[in-house]
Amino acid sequence: MKARHDVVMEMLRDGAGGGGGDRDHSTLGRELSSLSSISSACDGVRELHVERKSLMELLDETGGDYCRERTVDGVGDVVDDSDAGTLDMIEEIERELSILDGRSSILAGKIRDILVPTFDPTDVANLTTADAVIDIRAGTGGDEACLFAAEILASYEAIAKAGGGGGGGDDGYDLGGKSWEVEVLSVSRTDLGGVKEASLVVSSRGGGSGIIVEDDPSTTSGHVLQRLGPYGFFQYESGVHRVQRVPVNSPKLQTSAVSVAVLPSVDDSDISSALPESELRIDVMRASGAGGQHVNTTESAVRVTHLPTGIVACIQDERSQHKNKAKALKLVAARVHQRRKEQELRDRSGLRSSLMGGGDRSERIRTYNFAQDRITDHRCKVTIQGVQAWLGGGTMVRKFAPYLYEMEREERLVAMEGGDEVRGRKGSNTVVRGKKDTTAR
């Protein structure tokens, strides 16, 4: 590390940095700043270790002499002045050691923060600030699953319209009253008001970013999330959401499921380059279902197929064929982009975080138990009380996000250290009631 620090210093001094000009110079500057911080922290740790070693030697010498004296003289009922002085010295050394251990732990934490930041440094596209495409699909459970899918859709829309949160101040947000835009690409509803499947785009459009300050030091380290865009906020919602409740038409408890996939949105200006025309098949047709004479007699529905991957999107919600085509292309582009990203990760390292939102619909991530009035996230083992309050209040996602980001960070730390499994965390079984967290120890 010291050698790399010197090399970067020399490159900056000579004005070298490749052919990227100012961009390469800026990259080297950031690397130098990071290396300098790590070097300074490491120097501090080394100094503390030297001081600690000296104190340990003094403690061994003092304690050993004291024990030998007491053994020779015998154990008496009265401690004389020399004994009291020795005991005071031992206690003082132990206090100093405790202080040094605390300072060493703080420095080790700083080094860890630099080496393994909250956000994955390999995320060169800075996807944590990207817009998001969210696919919601009712699974097992029939009408009850469709009704819960509608509730999930409404909850996500409420979160988006609050700019990723549910207000400021006590809720840990400071968005200045700004909100994110929600564009529903397609939605298939049932006669009972449920949703079979829906796709929507959540866009920041310069409308602010989510800032979370985690106030429970037993679970995370201070500012866990900051300045997230829609994708960064919703990415850990991918997976199977299971609901347990008594339907209105049945006296028995029923278990249903809804699958969610969260993908980074592809910018409109990049769609043409991401999806060459040679890779697409575009079919137009008449829309089916209700919609009036215009919808049923004109070819306004559009189906876009990405031939290399077989990914398909069919949109018929708009009266305009042009608008339906644009929505279908946006949806296909997001899905293709995510497929390519996952393949690159597999090719590069063969390691995929178990928490990353990659559109995986097979893993059960969360259970909503209405009978017990609780929501449990099975990845971070966190339970919150008050299903309707969290689900309907537009604040559910942000409650679990800090725990999940911290777990993903620890996965990267273990991978860096060559570990086989994620190390245990404080608060591995946490129950949250209202706004207060109670950690089971």
Query: Where does the pLDDT of residue 121 fall: very low under 50, low under 70, confident under 90, or very high at 90 and above?
Result: very low
Query: Where does the pLDDT of residue 217 fall: very low under 50, low under 70, confident under 90, or very high at 90 and above?
Result: very low
* 3 state SS of 190: coil
**Contact of 438 with 431, CB cutoff 8 Å:** yes
Q: What is the 3-state secondary structure (H, E, C) of 334-390?
A: HHHHHHHHHHHHHHHCCCCCCCCCCCCCCCEEEEEECCCCEEEECCCCEEEECHHHH
Number of DSSP helices (H) and strands (E) in the chain, helices first: 10, 15
Architecture of the domain spanning 127-440: 2-Layer Sandwich (3.30)
Q: Which percentage of the chain shows pLDDT scores above 70?
A: 59
Give me 284's structure tokens: 């137009």
Query: Where does the pLDDT of residue 152 fall: very low under 50, low under 70, confident under 90, or very high at 90 and above?
Result: very high
Averaged pLDDT score across all residues of the chain:
72
pLDDT at 341: 74
Task: State yes or no: pLDDT of 27 exceeds 70.
Answer: no
pTM score over 0.85: no
Closest to 232 (Cα-Cα) out of 265, 183, 206 = 265
Q: Domain segments of the chain: what residues?
A: 2-115, 127-440
Tens digits of residue pLDDT in 366-419 = 999 999 999 999 998 999 999 988 887 767 788 888 888 888 777 777 776 664
In the chain, what's the furthest Cα-to-Cα distance? 108
Task: State yes or no: pLDDT of 40 exceeds 60.
Answer: yes
* 3 state SS of 24: helix
State the average pLDDT over residues 161-178: 50
Closest to 210 (Cα-Cα) out of 249, 254, 247, 178 = 178
pLDDT at 316: 86
Count the helix, strand and coil residues of the chain and give each as a percent rounded to the nearest 5: 45, 20, 35
